[in-house]
């Protein structure tokens, strides 16, 4: 997995979080599969098509917080993730 301070696009734009579809009990095999990028200031009340219930690992950048909800439309229980 990338470190929180390494979350940047190829042109250097900061990324707040990356979500991945594949995970493993072995750390060096985590953060695989498809990647969903979350930019600073993003407000997404619904997961993109094909991403519902598929995220298995994530990395949150420095000075960012990722809040997720258990139900669509920002409903249900919340959980916050940081670097």
Number of alpha carbons in the 13 Å side-chain half-sphere of residue 18: 21
d(C-alpha 76, C-alpha 20), whole Å: 22
DSSP string for residues in 38-67: E-TT---SSPPTT-TTT--EEEE-TT-EEE
Backbone angles phi, psi at 39, to 5 degrees: -90, 160
SS3 14: strand
pLDDT for 9-67, tens place per residue? Answer: 889 889 999 999 987 777 777 888 899 999 999 998 888 888 888 888 899 999 999 99
Q: Are 44 and 57 in contact (CB under 8 A)?
A: no
- pLDDT value for 53: 84
Would you state the pLDDT for residue 3? 92
Whole-number pLDDT of residue 4 = 94
pLDDT in the model for residue 27 = 75
pLDDT band at residue 75, thresholds of 50, 70 and 90?
Answer: very high
């Amino acid at each position: 997995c990338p470190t929180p301070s390494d979350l940047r696009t190829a042109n250097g734009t900061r990324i707040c979080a990356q979500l991945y579809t594949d995970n493993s009990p072995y750390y060096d095999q985590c953060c695989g599969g498809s990647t969903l990028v979350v930019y600073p200031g993003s407000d997404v009340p619904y997961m993109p098509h094909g991403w519902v219930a598929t995220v298995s690992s994530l990395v949150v950048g420095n000075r960012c917080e990722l809040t997720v909800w258990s139900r669509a439309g920002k409903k249900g229980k919340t959980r916050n993730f940081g670097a």
